[in-house]
Amino acid sequence: MTDEKPRKTYSAKPTRGAVQKSPEKGDPRDQPREGQRIAKLLARAGVASRREIERMIEAGRISLHGTPVEHPSLLLKNLTGITVDDKPVAEPSPAKLFRFHKPNGYLTAERDFSGKKTIYDVLPDDLERVMPIGRLDLNTEGLLLMTTDGEFKREMELPKNGIERTYRARTFGDITQNQLEELYRGITVEGMHYGPITANLERSTGRNQWIEMTLTEGKNREVRKVLEHFGLKTSRLIRTQYGPFVLGDLAKGEIEVVRQHDLVKFRKTLK
């Protein structure tokens, strides 16, 4: 799959502030079921994930025609009159997907109150608002997909879609290909069950080796914990692929937009 060349600049989304007649007051759950939940619309518009939007509503940061929204179940036909922190929200535009080469030592988070650097310290200042699809640990590098659309982010992270992720791990210890084959049947480590994993011993020098692993669940620190179960110490972990999208020769810290044609084609394969 071929991606477009990196853009030198990234344009922010336009904002539209058209006003419509305010809906009747009262619990939105008592209103006729028309439109879509506000959390879903705002997620599609790239404001935040649904869960984060619910927290923003609880904090009184989201309003409709100047009145704070009280329920994330509020149904709307569009985002006319909606503001977040008193700023108008643009209607959802077609989802965009980016490939980002996350460097080692950066958190996959928007901010960290302890002072650690995050991926947003690396991303271009003029890049439109993007959200990470899944996470990579502080000390894991490689492919991190970013999107402008919260609904697409959710689709990609749903376990039922079974999207494969591939990693390369540099490890120290003793392991054989036959042992790695056991992972294909799934494994339970410290009470946590991990589904089928395809693992291949790429090359080894003494007790050092590179192992390629492909999985679909992406549980917290899954690769490291499974390798620790075999007595291996992981010194470097790189994600090289997520679904059909590959890291390729993307340099550390670089971000490239995926061709819209390729994104649309891939979305048709999701359940």
Q: Which residues are annotated as catalytic?
A: 137
Q: Any idea what the Cα angle at residue 104 is, between residues 132 and 235, rounded to 5°?
A: 125
From the list 246, 191, 199, 181, the residue with the least C-alpha distance to 219 is: 191
By the 10 Å C-beta count (0-12 exposed, 13-18 middle, 19+ buried), 236 is classed as: middle
What is d(CA 109, CA 218) in angstroms, rounded to the nearest whole number?
Answer: 17
State the residue for tokens 């054989």: 176
- The neighbour count for residue 35, using CB atoms within 10 Å, is 14
What is d(CA 265, CA 253) in angstroms, rounded to the nearest whole number?
Answer: 27
What is d(CA 166, CA 212) in angstroms, rounded to the nearest whole number?
Answer: 7
Specify whether the backbone of 43 is left (phi greater than 0), alpha (psi in -120 to 50) or beta: alpha
- Which phi and psi angles does 210 have, rounded to 5°? -105, 135
State the residue for tokens 């069950």: 193
Q: Which helix (H) or strand (E) holds 154?
A: helix 150-157
What is d(CA 145, CA 218) in angstroms, rounded to the nearest whole number?
Answer: 14
Which residues have C-beta within 8 Å of that of residue 9, sequence separation ≥ 6? 126
